[in-house]
Structures are given as C-alpha cells and as structure tokens.
Structure 1
C-alpha cells in the first residue's frame, strides 16, 4: 500500500470520528409530549436537581407508602439519588489512574440513595433547582431510577454495598457501566427527559451544563 493511500485512509478515519462526535453532541432526543409542563390544575410532584459541584443529584419528597430511602430509613420525608463510577464515587479513589479509567474504560457503577428530613434547599449546601413534574412524568422518572439498580431474580434491588456520604445513606450496585460520555450528569439529564423535561443528555457532561439547561425550562 502506497504512502498516499495510507494517509488517505487515516484522514478518512479521522473525518469519520469527527462526524460521529459532532453528531453525538448535536443530537438531542425529544421527550414524550404532554408530560411537561404539567397541565393546569393537574396533580404534580416536585423534583429537585442538586448541583454538587461536578456531580448531579435528584431529590423528591416521598408520599404515602413510598419506601425508596436507604434501608435504615426507607420512609424518610425526602430522598436523593445519584449515579456514578464505583471506584471513584463509592471507594473514593480519586487518583489520576482512577480518573483516567473512569473516563476511558467502561466500569462498574453505583447508585447513592440518601434519606433526610429537611427540604433539599435546607439540607444541601449546593445550588438546588425546583422542578414541578406531572404525576405521570414523575412516575416515568422513578421507573428510570429503579431500572438503574442491580436487582435479584425477584426484581428487588440488591443489599447495600456500603454506607453513603451524608444523611442516612447507602451505596448500591447499579447498571449500566460508567464511562465519560455516560456519567452522573447525563444520567440525571436522561431521568428528567423521561419525565418530559426538555433536557439534552448528550450536552450535559458537567453538572453545570445540566443546570444551564434547566434554567431555560
């Protein structure tokens, strides 16, 4: 194979990669219509987006017999969830090799579930965005979060793998695999999109990216 042909093939590959990357960031899946904003006088549920510096969390008030909280306080007034890389988020390994691995290599993930009593605006020392969802939209979001848990044959989430970071909280084994383009912030953005909110997960690689999107809702 001639040198010119090798260069042409390489340039073709690079061009293809550039087009694929550009397409990824330009593509925004459209949420289901009729879910958000809620119809006038419709039953609603409030969700809270918590901007933990680089990390995103979603919180809400539990109603009735909802028992989504950590084992030691499943029926807590409020719960918050966040998804992330197991080694970095749960094990606390913030070394350079760990960060590079989380960015480039698909790795095991965890879901952090926190139970607490105070309203999120009081409990967290980070920016909190309040979003009113339709009841159907909230149920879609809740179903998406539940699907993130690794489950047993009965479909129940597995026992906690360790204590969480604040409040009464635990870490749980989760799915899918974690990688830079599918991280805690894109996960939260997709959860909100499932609820009908016009978020673009592909453009929410950072928590501040998602916060900026929510400011326009």
Structure 2
C-alpha cells in the first residue's frame, strides 16, 4: 500500500511539473518574435482573423497563382455567392469542429482526444465577400514568392483523395451558409493547435509571428 501511494505521488508530481512547464512555455514562447522577412514586395493582401479563440488565415479567392474555388467548391457550402473575394481557412481537431458549435457543447471525450492526438483533423473553410480591418482582423501585405509558399503550406494541410482533390466532409454542422469542412493532415494536440497551425502559416510565408504559440493572443499581439 505504501509503495502504491508513493508511486501515485510521483505520478502526481510529474503531472503537476508538466502542467507548470507547459504553462510557462505558453507564456514565454509566444513573446519571442520571429521577424518579418525584409525588403519584400507587397503583391498580395492576406488577413488573419480570430473569433477570440481560433485563428484563420484569409487569402484571395482567385489570383493568377491559384483559384481556391476549384477545390474549395462553392457548392460545398449551404448557400453561397460565388463572387466572394476572400477565403478564410483554419486547421483543427475534427471533433471540436463538428461536435462543438459552442463551448457549452464540449464533451470531455472530445477534449481528451484532441489534447492527446487521438482523433483526426479538419480544415474549416469560409468564404467572405469582403474583409474589414479590426482588432480581430489584421491585414498583411506579402510578395508573390511568399504567397506561393503560403499556398503550398495550406495545400499540404489538406488530405487528398486518389485523384489529388480535397476531400469535403459531408455534415450539417456548418457554422453558416458560406462554410464547409475538409479532411486534413496532421494530428491536433496541446503542442499543435489551430493557432499553432496559423502561426506556422505566417512563418512559412515570412511574416511576423511567434516562435510558438497555442493561443490566438500571441499572434495578434504581433499585429497590434
């Protein structure tokens, strides 16, 4: 009995230590800034947006480099104006996206699976007719070369079928008439969250970002 209690005590101490180290990292690492690449052209406008928890990267729907609507099809949304000029995309845990429309709907099983990379991931794609800068929507100007890198980063995040097409998730869990979900690559966990994905997107295209962050606040503090 004494040996069992001692083992439990060690496990609890290790768990507490891990939580404290993780909390310290979530506070300190977002403060380390990866600087924007110097002397680049301003060919395209992208945005980052947040709902207060989750960061999306917003790109032009159509440019000479790519027409996103060919794979993120308008017809996959409930009802959408095909003239929408921008497409917001975010990566995250599939269970969170499809089973948790509100935080009050969060199930312990969904949270546990997400935290420990036990479930699959999805990309949430939403079309917007226009973008308006605010505290929750920041404009970023990037070069063509940087945009090409961002395109590759995002495309690589989508899971593809045998014909190399994005895989639409058929669901009634849409948040609006202008969004849809797609199967994604990678595993969500406490070290790679939706905001880590967005931060890495900025890193991929040479923009100011955090060294690492699991939260949206770290990203948006760089663009205040």
Report the TM-score, using the length of structure 2 for normalisation. Answer: 0.72
Residue 185 of structure 2 corresponds to residue 183 of structure 1:
no
Residue 150 and residue 208 in structure 1: after superposition, are their counterparts in 2 closer, same or farther (change >3 A)?
same
Q: Report matched runs for 1:95-110 at 5 Å.
A: 95-110=107-122
Distance change (3 Å), C-alpha of 1:212 and 1:27:
closer
User: Which of 104, 114, 121 is residue 126 of structure 2 equivalent to?
Assistant: 114
Moved more, 57-66 or 134-143: 57-66
1:50–1:167 distance in 2 versus 1, CA, 3 Å: farther
Cα separation, 2, equivalents of 1:179 and 1:84: 9
Where does the alignment leave 5 or more consecutive residues of structure 1 unmatched?
Answer: none
SS in 2 for 1:176: coil
Q: 1:192 to 1:206 in 2, by over 3 A?
A: same
Moved over 4 A (4+): 20-31
Aligned counterparts, 1:21-32, within 5 A: none
CA distance in 2, matches of 1:107, 1:214: 32
Partner of residue 50, structure 1: 49
Choose 165-174 or 125-134, whichever is displaced more.
125-134
Paired residues, what number?
199
Q: Are the structure 2 counterparts of residues 187 and 159 from structure 1 closer, same or farther at C-alpha, using a change threshold of 3 Å?
A: same
Q: Which is further off, 158-167 or 22-31? A: 22-31
Q: Secondary structure at the match of 1:173?
A: strand
In structure 1, what is the equivalent of residue 215 of structure 2? 206
Task: Determine the C-alpha separation between the residues in 2 that align with 1:64 and 1:27.
Answer: 32
Counterpart position of 1:147: 156
User: Unaligned regions of 5+ residues in structure 2, if any?
Assistant: 76-81
C-alpha separation between the residues in 2 aligned to 1:27 and 1:185? 11
The change in CA–CA distance for 1:38 and 1:106 in structure 2 (over 3 A counts) is farther
The answer to whether the Cα contact below 8 Å between 1:187 and 1:201 also exists between their aligned partners in 2 is: no
- Which structure 2 residues correspond to residues 69-148 of structure 1 after superposition, within 5 A? 69=69, 70-72=72-74, 76-92=84-100, 94-117=106-129, 119-121=130-132, 127-148=136-157
